[in-house]
Protein backbone atom coordinates (compact mmCIF):
# COMPACT_ATOMS: atom_id res chain seq x y z
CA UNK A 1 0.00 0.00 0.00
CA UNK A 2 1.36 3.35 -0.95
CA UNK A 3 -1.17 5.48 0.95
CA UNK A 4 0.53 8.19 2.84
CA UNK A 5 -0.36 9.16 6.36
CA UNK A 6 -2.48 12.07 5.13
CA UNK A 7 -4.58 9.85 2.92
CA UNK A 8 -5.23 7.34 5.68
CA UNK A 9 -6.06 10.15 8.12
CA UNK A 10 -8.45 11.77 5.65
CA UNK A 11 -10.15 8.50 4.99
CA UNK A 12 -10.55 7.81 8.68
CA UNK A 13 -11.93 11.30 9.26
CA UNK A 14 -14.40 10.95 6.45
CA UNK A 15 -15.61 7.56 7.59
CA UNK A 16 -15.84 8.74 11.17
CA UNK A 17 -17.68 11.94 10.33
CA UNK A 18 -20.15 10.11 8.10
CA UNK A 19 -20.85 7.70 10.91
CA UNK A 20 -21.13 10.43 13.53
CA UNK A 21 -23.37 12.59 11.33
CA UNK A 22 -25.62 9.60 10.67
CA UNK A 23 -25.72 8.91 14.39
CA UNK A 24 -26.61 12.52 15.12
CA UNK A 25 -29.49 12.34 12.63
CA UNK A 26 -30.69 9.18 14.30
CA UNK A 27 -30.62 10.88 17.69
CA UNK A 28 -32.55 13.89 16.32
CA UNK A 29 -35.43 11.55 15.54
CA UNK A 30 -35.72 10.96 19.27
CA UNK A 31 -36.99 14.50 19.81
CA UNK A 32 -40.45 14.17 18.21
CA UNK A 33 -40.80 10.70 19.70
CA UNK A 34 -40.16 11.83 23.24
CA UNK A 35 -42.12 15.08 22.71
CA UNK A 36 -45.15 13.05 21.74
CA UNK A 37 -45.20 11.71 25.29
CA UNK A 38 -45.56 15.23 26.70
CA UNK A 39 -49.04 16.53 27.53
CA UNK A 40 -50.99 16.97 24.29
CA UNK A 41 -52.49 20.31 23.30
CA UNK A 42 -55.97 19.51 24.53
CA UNK A 43 -54.61 18.53 27.93
CA UNK A 44 -52.55 21.71 28.11
CA UNK A 45 -55.66 23.68 27.28
CA UNK A 46 -57.73 22.09 30.06
CA UNK A 47 -59.02 25.28 31.25
CA UNK A 48 -59.38 26.97 34.45
CA UNK A 49 -62.14 25.88 36.74
CA UNK A 50 -64.69 28.29 38.11
CA UNK A 51 -66.16 27.26 41.45
CA UNK A 52 -69.24 28.85 42.99
CA UNK A 53 -68.38 29.52 46.64
CA UNK A 54 -71.24 31.86 47.50
CA UNK A 55 -73.05 29.18 49.46
CA UNK A 56 -70.12 28.29 51.70
CA UNK A 57 -70.38 28.89 55.40
CA UNK A 58 -67.59 29.62 57.87
CA UNK A 59 -65.09 26.80 58.28
CA UNK A 60 -66.67 24.86 55.40
CA UNK A 61 -64.21 22.80 53.42
CA UNK A 62 -65.00 22.03 49.77
CA UNK A 63 -63.16 19.53 47.58
CA UNK A 64 -63.13 20.14 43.81
CA UNK A 65 -61.34 18.34 41.00
CA UNK A 66 -58.88 20.25 38.79
CA UNK A 67 -56.35 18.73 36.37
CA UNK A 68 -57.09 15.37 37.89
CA UNK A 69 -56.19 16.46 41.41
CA UNK A 70 -58.32 17.53 44.39
CA UNK A 71 -58.42 21.20 45.42
CA UNK A 72 -59.30 22.09 49.02
CA UNK A 73 -61.19 25.36 49.48
CA UNK A 74 -61.86 26.49 53.01
CA UNK A 75 -63.76 29.58 54.10
CA UNK A 76 -61.87 30.31 57.26
CA UNK A 77 -63.63 31.86 60.21
CA UNK A 78 -62.16 34.54 62.50
CA UNK A 79 -61.50 31.87 65.14
CA UNK A 80 -59.57 29.75 62.67
CA UNK A 81 -57.49 32.74 61.64
CA UNK A 82 -56.68 33.41 65.31
CA UNK A 83 -55.32 29.87 65.62
CA UNK A 84 -53.23 30.41 62.51
CA UNK A 85 -51.86 33.70 63.89
CA UNK A 86 -50.61 31.97 67.03
CA UNK A 87 -48.20 29.74 65.13
CA UNK A 88 -44.58 30.89 65.24
CA UNK A 89 -42.20 30.48 62.30
CA UNK A 90 -39.85 28.29 64.37
CA UNK A 91 -42.51 25.61 64.68
CA UNK A 92 -42.61 25.16 60.91
CA UNK A 93 -40.58 22.69 58.87
CA UNK A 94 -41.39 24.67 55.71
CA UNK A 95 -41.43 28.29 56.83
CA UNK A 96 -44.17 30.28 55.17
CA UNK A 97 -46.48 32.80 56.74
CA UNK A 98 -50.18 32.56 56.11
CA UNK A 99 -50.10 35.99 54.43
CA UNK A 100 -47.43 34.76 52.02
CA UNK A 101 -49.64 31.85 51.05
CA UNK A 102 -53.09 33.45 50.70
CA UNK A 103 -53.76 37.02 49.54
CA UNK A 104 -57.32 36.91 50.92
CA UNK A 105 -56.93 35.21 54.28
CA UNK A 106 -60.62 34.39 54.43
CA UNK A 107 -60.06 31.84 51.70
CA UNK A 108 -57.69 28.91 51.83
CA UNK A 109 -57.05 27.36 48.41
CA UNK A 110 -54.58 24.46 48.26
CA UNK A 111 -53.95 21.40 46.11
CA UNK A 112 -55.13 18.53 48.27
CA UNK A 113 -52.18 16.24 47.61
CA UNK A 114 -49.84 15.32 50.47
CA UNK A 115 -46.33 16.49 49.67
CA UNK A 116 -44.89 13.23 51.01
CA UNK A 117 -46.04 10.60 48.55
CA UNK A 118 -49.28 11.94 47.08
CA UNK A 119 -52.19 10.65 49.14
CA UNK A 120 -55.20 12.90 49.84
CA UNK A 121 -55.28 14.25 53.41
CA UNK A 122 -58.53 14.21 55.35
CA UNK A 123 -60.03 17.51 56.47
CA UNK A 124 -60.68 18.45 60.11
CA UNK A 125 -58.47 15.66 61.36
CA UNK A 126 -55.08 15.49 62.98
CA UNK A 127 -53.43 17.36 65.82
CA UNK A 128 -53.38 20.83 64.29
CA UNK A 129 -57.05 21.47 63.45
CA UNK A 130 -56.24 21.09 59.79
CA UNK A 131 -55.69 18.00 57.69
CA UNK A 132 -54.33 14.55 58.43
CA UNK A 133 -52.83 12.23 55.86
CA UNK A 134 -53.64 8.62 56.74
CA UNK A 135 -50.97 7.04 54.53
CA UNK A 136 -47.89 7.90 56.59
CA UNK A 137 -49.19 10.24 59.30
CA UNK A 138 -48.46 13.77 58.13
CA UNK A 139 -50.35 16.56 59.89
CA UNK A 140 -51.22 19.91 58.28
CA UNK A 141 -52.56 23.00 60.04
CA UNK A 142 -55.31 25.50 59.21
CA UNK A 143 -52.99 27.12 56.69
CA UNK A 144 -52.17 23.83 55.05
CA UNK A 145 -48.65 23.87 56.46
CA UNK A 146 -46.98 20.63 57.51
CA UNK A 147 -46.46 20.41 61.26
CA UNK A 148 -45.71 16.77 61.93
CA UNK A 149 -44.88 13.69 59.97
CA UNK A 150 -42.74 12.78 56.95
CA UNK A 151 -44.12 15.35 54.47
CA UNK A 152 -41.28 17.72 53.49
CA UNK A 153 -43.28 20.82 52.56
CA UNK A 154 -46.58 22.64 52.92
CA UNK A 155 -49.64 21.86 50.80
CA UNK A 156 -49.10 23.58 47.46
CA UNK A 157 -51.05 26.76 46.70
CA UNK A 158 -52.16 26.86 43.03
CA UNK A 159 -52.85 29.95 40.94
CA UNK A 160 -56.31 31.23 41.77
CA UNK A 161 -58.41 34.34 41.49
CA UNK A 162 -61.36 35.32 43.66
CA UNK A 163 -64.40 37.07 42.25
CA UNK A 164 -66.38 39.16 44.68
CA UNK A 165 -69.98 40.31 44.77
CA UNK A 166 -69.02 43.66 46.27
CA UNK A 167 -66.32 46.25 45.62
CA UNK A 168 -65.16 46.02 49.27
CA UNK A 169 -64.24 42.40 48.58
CA UNK A 170 -66.08 41.00 51.57
CA UNK A 171 -68.35 38.54 49.76
CA UNK A 172 -66.76 36.11 47.37
CA UNK A 173 -69.00 34.61 44.73
CA UNK A 174 -66.54 32.47 42.72
CA UNK A 175 -62.99 31.20 42.91
CA UNK A 176 -61.25 30.43 39.61
CA UNK A 177 -58.41 27.92 39.83
CA UNK A 178 -55.59 28.16 37.31
CA UNK A 179 -55.46 31.90 36.64
CA UNK A 180 -53.37 34.65 38.16
CA UNK A 181 -54.97 36.96 40.66
CA UNK A 182 -56.96 39.70 38.96
CA UNK A 183 -56.75 38.33 35.42
CA UNK A 184 -59.96 36.33 35.18
CA UNK A 185 -62.66 37.48 32.78
CA UNK A 186 -65.94 37.45 34.65
Question: Footprint of other proteins on this chain (CB under 8 A)?
Answer: 1, 8, 10-12, 14-15, 17-19, 21-22, 25, 32-33, 35-38, 40-43, 45-48, 185
CB 74, min distance to other proteins, A: 18
Pair type for strands 122-123 and 160-164:
unpaired
Within 13 Å, how many C-alpha atoms sit on residue 55's CB side?
3
Sheet of 172-177, strand order: 49-52, 172-177, 160-164
Residue 136 falls in the annotated catalytic set: yes
User: Which of residues 42 and 90 has its CB atom nearest to other proteins in the complex?
Assistant: 42
Residues listed for the chain: 186
**Using CA atoms, how far apart are residues 9 and 20, in angstroms rounded to an integer?**
16
Which residue lies nearer to other proteins by CB, 40 or 88?
40
| Minimum separation from the CB atom of position 29 to other proteins (A) | 8
Minimum CB distance to other proteins smaller for 73 or for 155: 73
Cβ at position 143, least distance to other proteins in Å = 27
Catalytic position from the list 116, 136, 139, 174: 136
d(CA 163, CA 53) in angstroms, rounded, equals 10
| 140, 120 contact by CB (below 8 A) | no
Asked if 176 and 169 touch (Cβ cutoff 8 Å), the reply is no
The C-alpha atoms of residue 130 and residue 98 are separated, in whole angstroms, by: 13
- Least CB distance from residue 107 to other proteins, whole Å? 19
If the CB atoms of residues 7 and 85 are measured against other proteins, the closer one turns out to be: 7
Active site residues: 136
Amino acid sequence: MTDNINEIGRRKFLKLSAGVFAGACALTTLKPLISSMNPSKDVLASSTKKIDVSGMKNDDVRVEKWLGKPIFIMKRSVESLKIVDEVSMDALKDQQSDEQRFYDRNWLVVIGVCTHLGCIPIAKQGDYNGWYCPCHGSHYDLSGRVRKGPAPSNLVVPLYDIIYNDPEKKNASHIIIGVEKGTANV
